[in-house]
């Protein structure tokens, strides 16, 4: 096999299998190549991925050695993505009655989901996530985009219990902003106990829904390793969840002037590690 052909095949295999270890012995056999040639190929691929800010490769040495693709995003690409998003959301007539911001359309766009998913993968990838969890409906596309890059399953919390979900655990929680009692429900079969869970959602105002999901996870004896939201609101400043990562922050919605201001989220703040680690279940 020609070298350039081998490089295309390895690049394709790595990119489409994020976080999955590919054995060097298998590669060597399939491509009838010496491990030293493969190492050279992998060196080039890693160099390009890092240079383009798309992530990196992680190589494990030894007889059972392998390589895996760790997806990511450069700070530069993330900043330019969120700034562009902010401009887009601030123009057009997106302010709805009640002061809500219409952003359902952007949450269905593959380019936006791809970048947000890579941002969450970049930030939470090293925390051994077993499951990405979200609540229906608008958080699902983001959760799917994130779980694809982390190569884990997405689990969807329902607002009501459905016959197609089998037995479920339900909890009541207080929505942070409205102070209303709401219910959420998760199928018993959806997740093994003692899972490490990344919560992903589209929007966080007071954080009541995220807090509800964290409480629900205790019923599954599972641990929250992070909370990622696409858009947080500046108000209220104090959220019910102490640690979370936001892609963007909605600092102002003026229903009458139909004016919106969007800033970079806390993903970009210097002490962002504080938003990931630490006791998130406090």
> Which residue ranges make up the site for a second copy (CB under 8 A)?
2-5, 7-9, 11-12, 15-16, 41, 44-45, 47-49, 52, 54, 96-98, 100-102, 104-105, 108-110, 113-114, 136-138, 140-141, 144-145, 147-148, 151-156, 158, 163-166, 187, 189-190
Residue 37 or 274 having the CB closest to a second copy:
37
Residue 213 or 275 having the CB closest to a second copy:
213
Task: Report how far residue 230's alpha carbon sits from residue 139's, in angstroms, rounded to the nearest whole number.
Answer: 9
Task: Report how far residue 169's alpha carbon sits from residue 187's, in angstroms, rounded to the nearest whole number.
Answer: 6
Query: What ranges make up the beta strands (E) of 22-167?
Result: 22-23, 55-60, 66-71, 95-96, 100-101, 131-135, 153-157
Q: Is 142:119 a contact under the CB 8 Å cutoff?
A: no
Residue 41 or 243 having the CB closest to a second copy:
41
Q: How many CA atoms does the CB half-sphere of 31 hold within 13 Å? A: 25
User: Could you identify the residue written with the tokens 């020609």?
Assistant: 2
Helix (H) or strand (E) holding 31: helix 24-31
Q: How far is the CB of 253 from a second copy (least distance, A)?
A: 12
- List 204's β-bridge partners, or say none: 232
Q: How far is the CB of 269 from a second copy (least distance, A)?
A: 27
Q: How far is the CB of 46 from a second copy (least distance, A)?
A: 9
Closest alpha carbon to 133 in 162, 153, 151: 153
Task: Report how far residue 192's alpha carbon sits from residue 6's, in angstroms, rounded to the nearest whole number.
Answer: 39
Residue 1 or 79 having the CB closest to a second copy:
1
Residue 163 or 181 having the CB closest to a second copy:
163
Q: How far is the CB of 274 from a second copy (least distance, A)?
A: 29
Residue 15 or 174 having the CB closest to a second copy:
15
Q: Is 89:103 a contact under the CB 8 Å cutoff?
A: yes
Residue 132 or 224 having the CB closest to a second copy:
132
Q: How far is the CB of 207 from a second copy (least distance, A)?
A: 17
Q: How far is the CB of 208 from a second copy (least distance, A)?
A: 16
Q: How far is the CB of 233 from a second copy (least distance, A)?
A: 13
Q: Is 225:196 a contact under the CB 8 Å cutoff?
A: yes
Q: How far is the CB of 40 from a second copy (least distance, A)?
A: 9
Q: What is the CA radius of gyration of the chain?
A: 21
Residue 137 or 269 having the CB closest to a second copy:
137
99-108: string of b/e by CB count within 10 Å (b at 16+)? eebebeebbe
């Amino acid at each position: 096999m020609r070298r350039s052909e081998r490089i295309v095949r390895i690049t394709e295999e790595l990119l489409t299998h994020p976080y999955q270890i590919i054995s060097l012995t298998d590669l060597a056999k399939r491509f009838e190549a010496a491990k030293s040639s493969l190492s050279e190929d992998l060196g080039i691929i890693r160099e390009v991925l890092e240079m383009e800010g798309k992530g990196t490769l992680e190589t494990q040495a030894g007889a059972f050695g392998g390589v895996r693709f760790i997806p990511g995003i450069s700070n530069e690409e993330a900043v330019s993505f969120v700034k562009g998003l902010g401009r887009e959301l601030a123009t057009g007539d997106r302010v709805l009655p009640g002061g809500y911001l219409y952003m359902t359309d952007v949450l269905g766009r593959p380019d936006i989901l791809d970048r947000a998913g890579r941002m969450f993968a970049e930030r939470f990838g090293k925390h051994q996530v077993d499951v990405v969890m979200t609540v229906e409906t608008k958080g699902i596309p983001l959760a799917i985009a994130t779980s694809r890059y982390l190569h884990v399953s997405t689990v969807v919390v329902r607002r009501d219990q459905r016959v197609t979900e089998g037995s479920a655990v339900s909890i009541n929680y207080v929505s942070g902003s409205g102070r209303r009692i709401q219910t959420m429900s998760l199928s018993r079969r959806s997740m093994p106990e003692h899972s490490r869970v990344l919560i992903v959602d589209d929007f966080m105002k007071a954080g009541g829904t995220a807090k509800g999901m964290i409480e629900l996870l205790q019923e599954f004896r599972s641990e929250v390793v992070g909370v990622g939201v696409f858009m947080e609101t500046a108000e209220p400043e104090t959220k019910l969840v102490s640690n979370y990562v936001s892609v963007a922050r909605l600092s102002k919605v003026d229903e009458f002037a139909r004016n919106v201001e969007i800033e970079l989220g806390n993903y970009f703040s210097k002490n962002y590690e504080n938003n990931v680690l630490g006791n998130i279940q406090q």
